[in-house]
Homo-oligomer: A and B are copies of this chain.
């Protein structure tokens, strides 16, 4: 996304204007306390002081950074089980905004330090998210627009496209996807413009791979064929129709 003050302001507005006042950041300091955030609400902003670590129970949240000229990059989309909100320097390194209504648990660091079990789970999650980020870095650094869109859609389909993909079940190979992100958010997640996102979705539609009933409701008619477009399938896997990639991040568990 490009530049200008307007764009920057528009981006900032989408979060706080659509709904309620900022859930004044960092209200939840009680150890292990449950917190609920409405859809499209800002949780904290880059530069804010860090209070606690959050783990998502349900819903999904996008973490993003803004360049000074207004360009935005969605750096992570976190969902159930994922953790966020901590930073080694006690200042948030990015902003957080819910995509849908979201429930989190807020942990005080002292609690984490006292509970090895909790800490172990936290570490496992962190590694998982690190691997997901590796995958995303690869997408951003080396994949074409079409491959990015295909990868994005595949990540929205549960149990498919991973190394444990069971392949088509039954006769057809359909999947229904409900997007929790606008075109603009998808674009900023995939490092593209909204026009490119739109055009590539249209292209998939014209090729008969998907149909788009509502803006945020997409039916994938041939999951395997879509998977071939992600750029992540080896030649051998292409012939077998299976996935070669390991530990690809699943967005399907993070949206909705």
Contact = CB atoms under 8 A, between A and B. Distances in A.
Interface of A: 1, 5, 8, 11-13, 15-16, 46-47, 63, 65, 67-69, 71-73, 75-76, 86-94, 112-113, 116, 119-120, 122-124, 126-131, 133-138, 140-143, 188, 190-191, 231-235, 237, 244, 246-247
A88 B46 contact: no
A144 to B, nearest CB: 10
A217 B76 CA distance: 35
Given A67-B142, A88-B124, 7 more contacts: A1-B142, A67-B232, A87-B131, A91-B247, A94-B134, A119-B120, A140-B140
Q: Which 3 pairs of residues, A with B, have the shortest CB-CB distance?
A: A141-B191, A68-B234, A15-B89
Contacts of A137: 73, 75-76, 133, 136-137, 140
B191 A140 contact: yes
A134 B65 contact: yes
A247 B119 contact: no
A52 B63 CA distance: 30
Contacts of A87: 127, 131, 246-247
Contact of A138 (B73, B90, B142): B73
A101 to B, nearest CB: 25
Contacts of A47: 246
Given A134-B75, A137-B137, A140-B137, A91 B246 contact: yes
Contacts of A94: 131, 134
B93 A233 contact: no
B235 A131 contact: no
A235 B68 contact: yes
B142 A73 contact: yes
A69 B235 CA distance: 8
A60 to B, nearest CB: 17
A67 to B, nearest CB: 6
Contacts of A136: 137
